[in-house]
Structure 1
Amino acid sequence: MSDPRASSVGILGSGAAGLITAYTLLQDGFKNVTIITRDSTPGGIWADQRVYPGLTLNNVHGEFRFSMLPVPPAKDVTKRLSGFEMRDYMQKFTDQYLKGRIQYGLDIISVTRPNGQSSGWNVKVKDAKTSEKKTLQFDKVVSCTGGCHEPYIPEELSLASAKAVPFKGRVFHSSKFRSQLDELQTDGKDESALGEVVIVGGGKSAQDIAAYLANKGVKVTVVFETADAFLAVSSPLPDFIRRSRFLSILSPHSTLESRLERFLHTTSLGNKITHFIWKQIITGSFTAAGITDDSPLKNTHDAFWGIRINDEGVPKPDGFFMLAKAGKINVVSPARVASYASDGESVMLNNGGKLRADTIVLATGYTSSWHPIFDEETSVNLGLNRHPPHPQFLKTEGEWNHYVSLRDPPKAHASAKQWASSIYRGIVPAKNLLNRDFAINGALFTTNNGYAFEVVSHWISSYFLDDKNLKLPSSPEEALTLADRNGAWLRKRYPDMLLWVNESYSSNLCFWTWPQTIDELLKDMGLKTYRSGGNWLTWPFKVIELEEIKHLKEERDALRSQQK
């Protein structure tokens, strides 16, 4: 049998998931590893051309990094890294570990099987500068394109709709904000040239852009129906609360491994304690940000039932919430921008209102990055697409009826409309399980990306190496059954969330319960779980550090040698 390490591996995307996957494969002895990206610098959403002033990381300091490279102290008073600091970190990691491994400026056109073959991959690319097209061939592919790559723009707000009116001002997606600022600077102008700005959306990018413009003296209005939930505190929380398993055990997982979790989510007393703590967290966040009951800023997703949550830390005087409170950012909510107005200089709201605008920033999210590069035939053959829930798994949702903490969910669409992912563990398309030539890193929705990306990279490497200690389903059918079961759990745990998340970012929603999900991946590999230590009383409060997984390669090597 040929050595898998001789295989050529193409990694699609140079974001954090792509960088750590390439690093792990190289450490495991894969010689021919190439990262392909349309960007001119590494980092994905943290690439130089995408970061902009005011952009901040939505993670506690020290979480979004890799175990082998410490991250420098944050300059921001809230201890949140800026987009520019993350850009520098990604560049440093690349310079130190991945020199010569990235092919920049290549727009991926398609990923297909060679004609008539059931293995190997053709990756067709176009040079961003010369428009020259060529096909790169790989034995294995890892998709690390993420879910923040292809902008989602509703048809009624598209550039085509704007031209049809015609709308006289600027219209662009939030992902293009940096390039718009660069254009202004090139023309010798500043942000005032944007005039009155209307930002569509209530997510993190909408809030960061609004705060940046308001601090530059620009008149800004933000319109949203429901904004992201947020966590805020009047003073920094201790690490044993914010960087431990504390919040994870307060969020139910599909399998309750510990006695404490079973108490919190399957007993009446535990349920009261769980929801009391979450209520205090939510109420405390509003209080810390000074948000009153009559404020439109109160229109947020529920922090317990949803996954749209921003971690603000201590609110800054020049941040979104303080500026909105001070009247320097106009907030219109609940409302939705329905169309461009016929006067060519306004937008119409779904409540009949009208807002004048010289510039429209569409912070409307992202669609799946898979659809542009995998055609329908490849998606079907690979098993990449979502599918309607099997009737059996609509009944399976009852498996968790004994979870008392989930007994009063918010109103949701019918489960049959919430399609299930076909991706096993959020890493391998179930249908392609036995081929061991395709994997995904970056499709787990977690609050600790650095830890998750790194553990997943080891799982993928073990999968490609055909490690005997890696526990896998026995067949594609079994893998799909397990993926369907997870889909049933997600419909139960996060009502309606599957309706808006895109596949390439959210094949598995393990938001607060990322430690439990990561433990499942470690267990798959035969590795130690609950790595932070502690006893029966202290383990929920032990700080989780990336150093815990710094030697996963050596641990996997030891298991492999035992197999021999």
Structure 2
Amino acid sequence: MGDASVVEKIYDLVVIGAGWYGLGSAKAYIQLHPNEKILVLEAENSCGGTWSKDRLYPGLKSNNLWGSYEFPDFPMEEKVYGVSEGQHIPAATLHRYLTDFAKNFGIFERTLFQTKVDSVEATANDEWALNVTSNTSTIQRIQTKKLIVATGLTSQPNMPSYPGEESFVPPFFHAKEFCNRADTVQTCKKATVVGAGKSAFDVAYAFATEGDAQVDLIIRPTGQGPVWICPPYVTPLKRKMEELLSTRALTFMSPCPWQGEDGFSMAHSFLHRTGVGRFIVNNFWNQISSEVVETHGYNDDPEVFKLKPWNSAMWTGSGVGIHNYQTNFFDLVKEGKIRVHLADIVKLDQNTIHLNNGEAFETEVLICATGWKKTSEGLKFKNFSSGLSYTTSDIKRLSKEADKKVHEMFPILKDQPVLRGPVKAEEPLRNYRFIVPSGAVFKRNIAYAGMVSTVCTSIFSTVQGLWISAFLDGKLQRAPKTEDEVTKEIMLHTQFEKWRYPCGYGASLPDFAFDSIPYVDLLVNDLGLKNHRKSSPILELLEAYKPKDYLGLGEEWVEAYGNQ
């Protein structure tokens, strides 16, 4: 529908966004409602979200290895995509794969590209009216009975502002624009990157290797510090790092209030509610951190030491990166090709960057890999509030009650890390199951897909998509019965996130690492389906969960409950 000039304005379902989660949700809904009128709206000119055509910067690859970053029912076959076991997936390949997925399952033909949703209005009959602007259609207003918001967490750049930037001559842009400004890699011999996350390292690496530039990497001393960059393979057994996160026996080591969904409550109780258990858990996290520190030699070189993470990996969620570069990133730091500055920019002046430690240097380009705003600011709701319908004082009271319960359940979370910078007080995303706004749980007309941060993106998008379709139909096999039940769960889960991932995103949104598979268990159990999907008890505990384990989940649900 890329150049549609006439489309129907009334739909049964509209999905906003055609990234991983929009595609996963649209596919599930189409499978369960093949005869309904479904529309997908995408602001970019192609599928993929993070992996859309205009965001593929030089050298970009997935952190995930082949086999863990695909939809269960659409495998990324080596003969088709040229990627095989043990390889990271090139960005262009991922874009092609996600486009093929959309075309294969009838999503692409239902998608209107370059169409931005400006506002969403709740109507009197509990439906939705969307005001949109489009480069390819004259439509200005769309009505729909149900709505899935899958705008993701990497849509709105968090762009800093510096004194003197109006007189700054070199190109100055956010990493989101790196694809469109990729020519700077070849033309600039002095590059400056601001940021401490994986994307900042990616941009710095591209300039230092492909462009042979001198790179200055600036990290704020009052931020969360350098990202944990893990080797692809860890432990003496050389297990894939990403597989550790989704191995059920190891998920026991991470506290979370939905752990019991996996059926191993006794193990969780021992590990998190006894002194001996907590000793084992602490040793596990210390070992994980120590192995990464030793592998990269953080303590062996004063320059590399500047990139050593400031807190234990225990407190960091999905923000962990994987060393997926062709050569050693840290060697570039040792050689001085990438110079690390723990400082703040105080002024930009012509071609010069001034830091608060007195350093100043010239640059030919300034890229800010400074993350994303965690809400789609361009999407405005009318006559609808996505937050809890309580006063500020009531939310504070409910938060304290939930905090007390979290600490009773997981005493280990009382011993929080000391953060260097000020903690920004903000109200987190408070959704039921991290998906449904509290006020819509019993209306069943809206859901958020992908308002979470996890390394298990493909599994989450598949299971969340099916859960959302069942929820919108009122066919979940386990659902809350009262508003009070909804509120208590939302408060427990969101306050837990704040305590669990203070060095991650937990204070503002759901963050997942070793607790990813237990969360998937939670949703699969809601659906009334089998969450233990391995062929034996031993494999259930020791073999990593991958997308292929959820193959046929939609068909299982249709067979069991589709005709209810």
Q: TM-score range by the shorter chain?
A: 0.7 to 0.9
Q: Would the aligned equivalents of 1:43 and 1:91 in 2 still touch at CA under 8 Å?
A: yes
Partner of 1:523 in structure 2? 525
Deviations 1:101-140 (A, max 9, x none): 11111122222234xx24222222222368x661122111
Q: Would the aligned equivalents of 2:18 and 2:49 in 1 still touch at CA under 8 Å?
A: yes
For the residues of structure 2 that align with 1:349 and 1:308, how far apart are their CA atoms? 30
What pairs up with 1:282-361 in 2 under 5 angstroms? 282-292=289-299, 294=302, 295-307=305-317, 309-312=319-322, 316=325, 318-333=327-342, 335-337=343-345, 339-341=346-348, 343-361=349-367
Partner of 1:219 in structure 2? 214
For the residues of structure 2 that align with 1:386 and 1:497, how far apart are their CA atoms? 27
Correspondence 1:252 to 2:258: no
Q: Which moved more, 1:344-353 or 1:80-89?
A: 344-353
* Cα offset, 1:301, TM superposition: 4.7
For the residues of structure 2 that align with 1:301 and 1:270, how far apart are their CA atoms? 22
Task: Say which SS state the counterpart of residue 179 (structure 1) adopts.
Answer: coil
Q: Would the aligned equivalents of 2:66 and 2:86 in 1 still touch at CA under 8 Å?
A: no
Amino acid at match of 2:22: G
Task: Say which SS state the counterpart of residue 57 (structure 1) adopts.
Answer: strand
Deviations 1:533-562 (A, max 9, x none): 543x6533122132332222232223326x
Deviations 1:76-100 (A, max 9, x none): 9962112112112112112212241
Correspondence 1:373 to 2:374: no
Q: Would the aligned equivalents of 2:172 and 2:365 in 1 still touch at CA under 8 Å?
A: yes
Pairing partner for 2:370 from 353, 360, 364: 364
Task: Say which SS state the counterpart of residue 53 (structure 2) adopts.
Answer: coil
Task: Say which SS state the counterpart of residue 81 (structure 1) adopts.
Answer: strand
Amino acid at match of 1:14: A
* Cα offset, 1:300, TM superposition: 4.4
Q: Would the aligned equivalents of 1:256 and 1:262 in 2 still touch at CA under 8 Å?
A: no
Pairing partner for 1:273 from 269, 280, 283: 280
Partner of 1:453 in structure 2? 461
For the residues of structure 2 that align with 1:248 and 1:498, how far apart are their CA atoms? 19
Correspondence 1:434 to 2:442: yes
Q: Would the aligned equivalents of 2:413 and 2:500 in 1 still touch at CA under 8 Å?
A: yes
* CA spacing shift, 1:319–1:210, aligned 2, 3 Å: farther
Q: Which moved more, 1:55-64 or 1:489-498?
A: 489-498
For the residues of structure 1 that align with 2:358 and 2:165, how far apart are their CA atoms? 19
Q: Would the aligned equivalents of 2:66 and 2:85 in 1 still touch at CA under 8 Å?
A: no
For the residues of structure 2 that align with 1:381 and 1:442, how far apart are their CA atoms? 15
Partner of 2:481 in structure 1? 474
* Cα offset, 1:511, TM superposition: 2.7
Partner of 2:549 in structure 1? 548
Q: Would the aligned equivalents of 1:124 and 1:135 in 2 still touch at CA under 8 Å?
A: yes
Partner of 1:199 in structure 2? 193
For the residues of structure 2 that align with 1:220 and 1:386, how far apart are their CA atoms? 49
* Cα offset, 1:400, TM superposition: 3.4
For the residues of structure 2 that align with 1:20 and 1:559, how far apart are their CA atoms? 21
* Cα offset, 1:62, TM superposition: 1.7
Task: Say which SS state the counterpart of residue 228 (structure 1) adopts.
Answer: coil
Amino acid at match of 1:546: P
Partner of 1:104 in structure 2? 113
* CA spacing shift, 1:387–1:322, aligned 2, 3 Å: farther
Pairing partner for 1:10 from 8, 11, 14: 14
Amino acid at match of 2:194: V
Partner of 2:228 in structure 1? 229
Correspondence 1:55 to 2:48: no
Deviations 1:213-271 (A, max 9, x none): 11121121111131111222567833674652244222111144222222222222222
Task: Say which SS state the counterpart of residue 274 (structure 1) adopts.
Answer: helix
For the residues of structure 2 that align with 1:81 and 1:447, how far apart are their CA atoms? 14
Task: Say which SS state the counterpart of residue 317 (structure 2) adopts.
Answer: coil
For the residues of structure 2 that align with 1:72 and 1:475, how far apart are their CA atoms? 46
* Cα offset, 1:192, TM superposition: 3.9
For the residues of structure 2 that align with 1:349 and 1:393, how far apart are their CA atoms? 39
Deviations 1:157-180 (A, max 9, x none): 7xxx621xx111111000000011
Task: Say which SS state the counterpart of residue 178 (structure 1) adopts.
Answer: coil
* Cα offset, 1:385, TM superposition: 12
Correspondence 1:396 to 2:405: no
Work out the number of aligned pairs and report it: 531
Query: What TM-score does the superposition give when structure 2 sets the normalisation length?
Result: 0.86
Amino acid at match of 1:119: D
* Cα offset, 1:481, TM superposition: 2.6
Q: Would the aligned equivalents of 2:175 and 2:367 in 1 still touch at CA under 8 Å?
A: yes
Deviations 1:503-535 (A, max 9, x none): xxx3x2233201111111111111222323543
For the residues of structure 2 that align with 1:26 and 1:108, how far apart are their CA atoms? 21
For the residues of structure 1 that align with 2:177 and 2:232, how far apart are their CA atoms? 31
Task: Say which SS state the counterpart of residue 62 (structure 2) adopts.
Answer: coil
Task: Say which SS state the counterpart of residue 481 (structure 2) adopts.
Answer: coil
Partner of 2:33 in structure 1? 29
Q: Which moved more, 1:407-416 or 1:12-21?
A: 407-416
Structure 2 gaps, min length 5: 1-9
For the residues of structure 1 that align with 2:463 and 2:513, how far apart are their CA atoms? 16
Task: Say which SS state the counterpart of residue 444 (structure 1) adopts.
Answer: coil
For the residues of structure 2 that align with 1:280 and 1:463, how far apart are their CA atoms? 41
* CA spacing shift, 1:230–1:263, aligned 2, 3 Å: farther
Correspondence 1:135 to 2:170: no
For the residues of structure 1 that align with 2:95 and 2:77, how far apart are their CA atoms? 12
For the residues of structure 1 that align with 2:436 and 2:330, how far apart are their CA atoms? 40
* CA spacing shift, 1:327–1:306, aligned 2, 3 Å: same
Amino acid at match of 2:218: V
Q: Would the aligned equivalents of 2:66 and 2:84 in 1 still touch at CA under 8 Å?
A: no
Structure 1 gaps, min length 5: 1-5, 185-189
Q: Would the aligned equivalents of 2:113 and 2:136 in 1 still touch at CA under 8 Å?
A: no
Pairing partner for 2:48 from 38, 43, 51: 43
Amino acid at match of 2:447: A
For the residues of structure 2 that align with 1:223 and 1:382, how far apart are their CA atoms? 36
Partner of 1:484 in structure 2? 491
Amino acid at match of 1:58: N
* Cα offset, 1:316, TM superposition: 4.2
For the residues of structure 2 that align with 1:328 and 1:454, how far apart are their CA atoms? 42
Task: Say which SS state the counterpart of residue 11 (structure 1) adopts.
Answer: strand
Partner of 2:7 in structure 1? none
* Cα offset, 1:405, TM superposition: 3.3
What pairs up with 1:485-500 in 2 under 5 angstroms? 485-495=492-502, 497=504
For the residues of structure 2 that align with 1:212 and 1:75, how far apart are their CA atoms? 21
Amino acid at match of 1:359: V
Query: What TM-score does the superposition give when structure 1 sets the normalisation length?
Result: 0.86
* CA spacing shift, 1:100–1:382, aligned 2, 3 Å: farther
For the residues of structure 2 that align with 1:421 and 1:80, how far apart are their CA atoms? 31
Q: Would the aligned equivalents of 1:119 and 1:435 in 2 still touch at CA under 8 Å?
A: yes
For the residues of structure 1 that align with 2:350 and 2:484, how far apart are their CA atoms? 54
Q: Would the aligned equivalents of 1:423 and 1:480 in 2 still touch at CA under 8 Å?
A: no
